[in-house]
Amino acid sequence: MKILVGYKGTDVGKDLMDIAVKHAKAFNGEILIVTSMKGGDKTEGQEFVNAEKNLDQAKAYFDDFGVKSQTHLLVRGFEAGEDIVRFAQEKNIDEIIIGVRSRSKVGKLIFGSTAQVVILDAHCPVLTVK
């Protein structure tokens, strides 16, 4: 089983990783830890450094539990939700685990929702963690 974990290194990340470990162990799975960044003039250099550091820390966490994992920093010019959905399709992912955060209806309208795009457009089951 291939499990994609959408990871940004935020507070919800620990709960996300705990659930991913349980699923990977239960289904003899492999975890693909993914961070998506728009790139170009939309992203500053230090953001890439921080993202790679967060991914490395997440990988070390999975390694400590003996769970096979790999990291992917996606910089392909897409919005995060679209990028995660495309990557999941390309890699034949069986399950996506992503974090959600509470945002006002107006905030969702103006800024969109990465989780919403993933939930609605993914080809596989999506588990959300709050």
Domains and CATH numbers, the chain: 2-129 (3.40.50.620)
The 10s digit of each residue's pLDDT in 76-128 is: 989 999 999 999 999 999 999 998 876 666 555 544 588 889 999 999 999 98
pLDDT of 40: 67
| Spatial separation of the C-alpha atoms in residues 117 and 121, rounded to whole Å | 6
Spatial neighbors of 102 by CB under 8 A, at least 6 apart, are 130
With CA atoms as reference, report the closest residue to 122 among 43, 51, 11, 34.
Answer: 34
Question: What is the arrangement of strands in the sheet containing 2-6, beginning at the earlier edge strand?
Answer: 69-75, 30-37, 2-6, 95-99, 126-129
Integer CA distances (angstroms), 14 to 29, 30, 32, in order: 18, 18, 15
Tokens of 108: 């969702």
d(CA 100, CA 126): 12
Condensed to tens digits (0 to 9), the pLDDT of residues 21-56 reads 999 999 999 999 999 988 766 667 788 889 999 999
